[in-house]
């Protein structure tokens, strides 16, 4: 019995290679798996595909895979545009692959296409699960329920230093047409890649150490590429934001991009500029309210003044007649000297009344920015109470009149 | 005054307005309340807005981020 002719290993591997190339069902098939150890080498992308047990997470199957440089850039861009993340480790993918066998490197799956919808669906499902968990823990809505101060003006900013979005935000804020006062402090954090979530959590922790110095937190990232948004879909980061003691504004993408953070942040805006605009609008509202209050108070005080005016004019109109009658009545009894005294007294009363009107006008002028305060001022009091009618000053009562430069004391007759 | 918050000041202004509109406002009250209103309005505006000089210094700081904490 002759020994069979042995093969070289190369011959064997070449046979396997040829068999695989023509075997049915293993070429150009769509397969579902999870990515791992994704790495770039030159234009090519090398990775592992794993099939994990849904319950235990232990691998049930594993294979090396390659996306050659001839297709990788286009495939990666399309994938990132659809899912918000480039092809990276730890995501579920559906790929079109062919099994190949290299005599030296062994089995490898050659990937030629990827279905972003599958990954997107998985990301959405995971996001929904995280939202459900945050809700079950009772923290989903906490940040959104925080009350804003009347005018949020002290702002802690989480952004990458020197990022275009940060510049837009600062520029918008500090050149606002109302000249509203804002103070900002940057807490730098790189907002892309797998370190995004820990970097933001770290920045939030630093802000929390002095949270009484701020009215709110703004997390912003420039526009541009929509890639990498998936790194914001992080449970721990979302929980930190939900539990943060200050309202958080998130402006990290464009309108159609949604991340988990949009569900927990107090306010979601499209862009950093929109975040600044919102804050400016709050300040402008407050200024408008002050303007309304100032004009309402001016109106009310003016009404009070004209009431006093009418009362005084009435008294002024009555006084000469009353005084004249008194003079006539008493002229015979007290002689000509009293004539002068009475006339003088009447003139004094009138002058005092006019001073008082001027005084009230002066106070009301203070509400009007154009007016000066130097128009004279007097208030007439009896027993420390301002009086509004002569009947409040019975004969013999001591009257004090407060003028701009002192107090006059006189006795009512 | 410094320790009074913007919200407290707004509330006080609303109260003064209500008082001025009521019939119980005599001359003393009118003088004191309007003076206080001016004070509060000035305070609130200064809390909200910045002066030219402040603005220049802020912009200068922003152009030299090393000055920032």
Kindly give the confidence (pLDDT) of every residue in chain A, 413 residues in length, as a single tens digit, with 9 standing for 90 and above. Answer: 567 889 999 999 999 999 998 899 999 999 999 999 999 999 999 999 999 988 888 899 999 999 999 999 999 999 988 887 889 888 899 999 999 999 999 999 999 999 999 998 888 888 999 999 999 999 999 999 999 988 899 999 999 888 888 989 999 999 898 889 899 999 999 887 778 899 999 999 999 999 899 999 999 987 555 556 778 889 999 999 999 999 999 998 765 677 899 999 999 998 899 999 999 999 999 999 999 999 999 888 888 888 877 877 887 777 777 767 766 766 655 555 555 666 676 667 667 766 766 666 666 665 554 443 344 556 777 877 777 777 778 888 888 877 666 677 888 77
How many helices, marked H, and strands, marked E, lie in chain B?
A: 3, 0
Q: Ramachandran region of residue B66, left (φ > 0), alpha (ψ -120 to 50) or beta?
A: alpha
Nearest by Cα to A402 from B37, B40, B32:
B32
Beta bridge partners of residue B68, listed in sequence order: none
- A241: its two tokens: 């934001």
Q: B6 contacts in A (CB within 8 Å)?
A: 149-151, 286
- In the DSSP assignment, the letter for residue A2 is P
Judge whether A66 and A110 are in contact, CB under 8 Å.
yes
Sorted by sequence, the CB contacts under 8 Å of residue A346 that are 6+ apart come out as: A319, A320, A323
**Chain B contact present for A314, CB below 8 A:** no
Q: B45 contacts in A (CB within 8 Å)?
A: 287, 290
For residue A188, give the H/E element and its range: strand A183-188
- In the DSSP assignment, the letter for residue A144 is G
The answer to whether the CB atoms of B34 and A364 lie below 8 A apart is: yes
Reported ipTM: the value is 0.82
Nearest by Cα to A132 from A260, A251, A237:
A260
Instruction: List the single residue in B with minimal CA-CA distance to A357.
Output: B27
The answer to whether the CB atoms of B41 and A300 lie below 8 A apart is: no
The answer to whether the CB atoms of B27 and A186 lie below 8 A apart is: no
CA–CA separation, A366 and B46 (whole Å): 17
Name the 3-class secondary structure at A174: helix
Q: Where are the beta strands (DSSP E) in A42-161?
A: 44-52, 59-67, 92-102, 106-114, 154-159
Name the 3-class secondary structure at A45: strand
CA–CA separation, A208 and A97 (whole Å): 49
Pick from B14, B27, B45: CB nearest A308: B27
The answer to whether the CB atoms of A174 and B20 lie below 8 A apart is: no
**Which residues 165-224 on chain A approach chain B with CB closer than 8 angstroms?**
170, 174, 178-181, 183, 185-186
> CB contacts < 8 Å between A and B, how many?
98
CA–CA separation, A220 and A153 (whole Å): 17
The answer to whether the CB atoms of B13 and A386 lie below 8 A apart is: no
The answer to whether the CB atoms of B48 and A283 lie below 8 A apart is: yes
Q: Ramachandran region of residue A179, left (φ > 0), alpha (ψ -120 to 50) or beta?
A: left
The answer to whether the CB atoms of A300 and B21 lie below 8 A apart is: yes
């Amino acid at each position: 019995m002759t020994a069979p002719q042995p093969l070289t290993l190369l011959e064997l591997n070449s046979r396997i290679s040829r068999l695989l190339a023509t075997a049915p069902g293993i070429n150009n098939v769509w397969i579902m798996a999870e990515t791992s150890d994704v790495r770039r080498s030159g234009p090519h992308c090398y990775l592992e595909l794993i099939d994990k047990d849904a319950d235990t997470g232990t691998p049930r199957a594993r294979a090396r895979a390659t996306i050659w440089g001839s297709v990788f850039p286009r495939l990666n861009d399309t994938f990132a545009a659809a899912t918000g993340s480039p092809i990276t480790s730890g995501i579920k993918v559906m790929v079109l692959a062919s099994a190949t066998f290299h005599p030296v490197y062994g089995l490898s799956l050659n990937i030629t296409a990827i279905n972003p919808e599958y990954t997107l669906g998985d990301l959405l499902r995971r996001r929904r699960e995280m939202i459900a968990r945050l809700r079950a823990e009772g923290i989903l809505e906490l940040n959104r329920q925080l009350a804003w101060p009347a005018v949020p003006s002290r702002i802690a900013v989480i952004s990458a230093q020197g990022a275009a979005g940060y510049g837009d935000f600062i520029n918008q804020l500090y050149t606002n047409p109302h000249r509203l006062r804002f103070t900002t402090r940057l807490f730098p954090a790189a907002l892309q890649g797998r370190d995004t979530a820990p970097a933001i959590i770290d920045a939030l922790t630093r802000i929390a150490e002095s949270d009484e110095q701020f009215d709110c937190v703004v997390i912003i990232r420039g526009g541009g590429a929509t890639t990498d948004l998936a790194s914001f879909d992080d449970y721990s980061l979302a929980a930190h934001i939900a539990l943060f003691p200050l309202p958080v504004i998130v402006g990290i993408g464009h309108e159609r991009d949604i991340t988990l953070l949009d569900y927990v942040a107090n306010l979601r805006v499209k862009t950093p500029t929109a975040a600044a605009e919102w804050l400016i609008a709050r300040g402008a509202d407050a200024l408008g309210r002050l303007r309304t209050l100032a004009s309402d108070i001016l109106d009310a005080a003016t009404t009070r003044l004209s009431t006093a005016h009418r009362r005084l004019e009435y008294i002024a109109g009555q006084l000469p007649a009353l005084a004249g009658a008194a003079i006539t009545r008493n002229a015979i009894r007290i002689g000509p000297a009293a004539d002068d005294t009475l006339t003088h007294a009447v003139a004094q009363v009138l002058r005092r009344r006019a001073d008082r009107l001027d005084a009230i006008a002066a106070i009301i002028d203070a509400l009007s920015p154009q007016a000066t305060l130097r128009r004279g001022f007097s208030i007439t009091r009896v027993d420390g109470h301002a009086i509004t009618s002569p009947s409040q000053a019975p004969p013999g009562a001591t009257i004090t009149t407060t003028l701009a430069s002192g107090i006059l004391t006189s006795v009512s007759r | 005054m410094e320790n009074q918050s913007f919200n407290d000041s707004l509330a006080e202004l609303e109260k003064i307005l209500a008082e001025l509109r009521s019939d119980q406002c005599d001359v003393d009250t009118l003088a004191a309340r309007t003076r206080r209103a001016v004070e509060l309005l000035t305070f609130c505006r200064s809390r909200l807005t910045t002066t030219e000089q402040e603005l220049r210094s802020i912009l200068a700081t922003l152009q030299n981020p090393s000055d920032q904490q």
